[in-house]
C-alpha cells in the first residue's frame, strides 16, 4: 500500500501542473497505468510497422518505396524509444526488454485494433498513413502535455516524425484520388475498409476505469469521445472533398453542438479481436514478431557474451 502522505503530496504536484520524472516517487497505480499505456503504445508502433512493411517490396515507384521504408523504420524506432520508457517504469518489477517483448508473443499485451487488419491493396498502405496515422497523431498530440515528463518529451520527437507520415500518407491518397477510375475505386474501397476500425480506434464512448484514472492523473487530457469527434471533424470533410464517401449513413454533424453522429463500430467483434488476437492478420504478424524475438535471441545473446568477454580482457 502506498504511503497516504506521499500520495497526497504527489496529487498536489499534479494539481500544480508539475511534471513527473522516472526517478520520482509515484503511487503504484500511476506507475501501473503508465506501464500499461506506454507498453501498449510501444508495441503498437512495432506491430504497426508490419502492415506497411508488406508494401515495401510492392510499392509502385522507387520514391514511394524509399518513403515507406523510412516510415517503417520510424515506427520501429518509436517502438524502441517507448519500450525504453516502459522498461524504466517496470524496474521495480524486474521486467526489461525481453519480458516486455515476450508479452506480445504470449498475448499479455494488446496492440491497436487497426494492426490486426489486412492491407490488401496499395491504397490501404496510403489510407493507413492518412487515417491511422492521422488518428494516432490526434491521440499523441494530446499526450504532449502528459503529466509524465519522459513520455511527453519522447512524444515531441515522435510527433515530429509522424508529421512526415501524415504528409506521405496524404500524398499517396491524393495521387490515387487524382488517378484513373480504377485507382479512385481502389481508394474508395480502402476507405470503406478502414473507417469502422478507426471508429473503434479511440475506444468506447464510456471510458473504462483505467482510462478515467489516467485522466485524473493527467496522463491523458481528453476523453475517447472527444478524440473521436476531433478525428471525424477533421477527416470527414477531407474525404468528401476528394469526391469520395464514408461508409456510414448515420454520419451527420449537429449544427448547434458541432458534434458528429456516427454508427457504432462492432464493439464486441473488435474487443474480442484485440483481446484474443483473433483478427484477420493477428497471428501472422505475431508470428513475424516471434521470429524476430525468439529465433534471433541467440544472436543477441552471442553479442552480449562477446562484449562481456572483450571487456574482461586486460587493457580493455
Partner 1 sequence: MTSSEYPVYEVFGQKDRLSFHTHVGSIRAPNPEMALQMAREAFFRREAVVDIWVVPQDAIYSAARDPAYLPAIGDDKKYRLPSGYDNAPHWKRFKAKAMTIEEVAEEMTAKRR
Please tell me the distance from the alpha carbon of residue 71 to that of residue 126, in angstroms, as a whole number: 12
Residues 6+ apart with CB under 8 A from 270: 113, 197, 200
Residue with smaller CB distance to partner 1, 80 or 263: 80
Residues 118-147 that bind partner 1 (CB under 8 A): none
> Taking the CB of residue 66, how many other CB atoms lie within 10 A of it?
12
Q: Please name the residue that has the C-alpha cell 499505456.
A: 37
Q: Could you give the CA distance from residue 89 to residue 148 in angstroms, rounded to a whole number? A: 11
Task: Please tell me the number of Cα atoms within 13 Å of 179 on its side-chain side.
Answer: 15
Name which of 73 and 283 has its Cβ closer to partner 1.
Answer: 73
- Residue closer to partner 1, measured from CB, 182 or 299: 299
290 binds partner 1 per the rule CB under 8 A: no
What residues between 70 and 99 interact with partner 1 by CB under 8 A? 70, 73-74, 77, 80-81, 84, 87, 94-99
Q: Which is nearer to partner 1, 206 or 301 (CB)?
A: 301
Query: Among all chains, which residue has been given the C-alpha cell 489486412?
Result: 118
Cα separation, 145 vs 151, whole angstroms: 9
- For partner 1, the closer of residues 36 and 97 by Cβ is 97
**What is the H or E stretch that residue 253 is in?**
strand 252-253
- Which residue in the set 1, 4, 15, 23 belongs to the binding site for partner 1 (CB under 8 A)? 23
Phi then psi for residue 260, to 5 deg, are -100, 140
Pairwise CA distance, residues 266 & 11, whole Å:
37
| 154 part of the interface to partner 1, by CB under 8 A | yes
State how far Cα 231 lies from the chain centre.
15
Of 96-115, binders to partner 1 (CB under 8 A) are 96-99
Instruction: Count the residues of the shown chain that bind partner 1, applying the rule CB under 8 A.
Output: 29
Is 21 a binding residue for partner 1 by CB under 8 A? The answer is yes
The window from 16-24, 41-49, 52-60, 123-131 that contacts partner 1 (CB under 8 A) reads: 16-24
Query: Is 300 near partner 1 (CB under 8 A)?
Result: yes
For the CB of residue 181, give the shortest distance to partner 1 in the complex, in Å. 37
| Residue 161 or 216 having the CB closest to partner 1 | 161
Give the integer Cα–Cα distance in Å for 276 and 269.
10
Residue 310 Cβ vs partner 1, minimum distance, rounded to whole Å = 7
The region of 187-195, 233-241, 261-269, 306-314 touching partner 1 under the rule CB under 8 A is 306-314
CB 134 to partner 1: min, Å: 21
How do beta strands 260-261 and 252-253 pair?
Answer: antiparallel
Q: What is the greatest pairwise CA distance in the chain? A: 77
- Closest separation between CB of residue 221 and partner 1, Å? 23
Query: Is 43 within 8 Å of 62 (Cβ atoms)?
Result: no
Q: By CB under 8 A, name the one of 3, 12, 18, 24 that touches partner 1.
A: 24
Query: What does the binding site for partner 1 look like in residue numbers (CB under 8 A)?
Result: 21, 23-24, 70, 73-74, 77, 80-81, 84, 87, 94-99, 153-154, 157, 161, 300-301, 303-304, 306-307, 310-311
Amino acid at each position: 500500500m502506498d504511503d497516504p502522505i506521499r500520495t497526497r503530496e504527489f496529487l498536489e504536484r499534479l494539481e500544480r501542473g508539475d511534471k513527473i520524472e522516472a526517478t520520482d516517487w509515484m503511487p503504484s497505480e500511476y506507475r501501473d497505468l503508465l506501464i500499461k499505456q506506454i507498453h501498449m503504445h510501444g508495441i503498437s508502433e512495432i506491430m504497426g510497422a508490419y502492415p506497411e512493411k508488406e508494401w515495401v517490396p510492392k510499392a509502385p515507384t522507387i520514391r514511394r518505396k524509399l518513403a515507406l521504408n523510412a516510415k517503417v523504420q520510424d515506427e520501429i524506432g518509436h517502438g524502441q524509444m517507448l519500450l525504453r520508457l516502459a522498461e524504466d517504469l517496470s524496474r521495480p518489477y524486474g521486467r526489461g526488454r525481453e519480458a516486455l517483448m515476450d508479452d506480445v508473443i504470449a498475448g499479455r499485451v494488446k496492440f491497436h485494433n487497426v494492426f490486426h487488419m489486412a492491407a490488401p491493396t496499395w491504397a490501404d498502405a496510403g489510407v493507413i498513413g492518412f487515417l491511422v496515422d492521422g488518428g494516432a497523431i490526434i491521440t499523441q498530440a494530446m499526450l504532449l502535455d502528459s503529466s509524465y515528463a519522459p513520455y511527453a518529451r519522447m512524444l515531441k520527437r515522435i510527433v515530429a516524425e509522424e508529421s512526415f507520415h501524415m504528409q506521405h500518407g496524404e500524398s499517396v491518397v491524393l495521387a490515387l484520388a487524382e488517378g484513373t477510375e480504377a485507382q479512385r475505386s481502389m481508394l474508395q474501397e480502402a476507405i470503406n475498409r478502414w473507417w469502422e476500425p478507426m471508429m473503434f480506434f479511440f475506444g468506447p464512448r464510456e471510458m473504462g476505469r483505467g482510462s478515467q484514472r489516467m485522466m485524473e492523473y493527467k496522463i491523458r487530457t481528453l476523453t475517447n469521445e472527444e478524440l473521436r469527434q476531433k478525428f471525424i471533424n477533421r477527416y470527414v470533410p477531407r474525404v468528401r472533398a476528394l469526391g469520395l464517401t464514408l461508409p456510414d449513413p448515420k454520419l451527420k454533424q449537429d449544427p448547434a453542438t458541432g458534434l458528429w453522429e456516427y454508427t457504432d463500430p462492432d464493439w464486441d467483434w473488435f474487443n474480442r479481436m484485440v483481446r484474443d488476437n483473433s483478427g484477420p492478420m493477428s497471428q501472422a504478424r505475431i508470428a513475424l514478431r516471434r521470429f524476430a524475438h525468439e529465433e534471433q535471441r541467440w544472436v543477441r545473446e552471442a553479442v552480449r557474451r562477446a562484449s562481456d568477454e572483450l571487456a574482461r580482457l586486460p587493457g580493455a
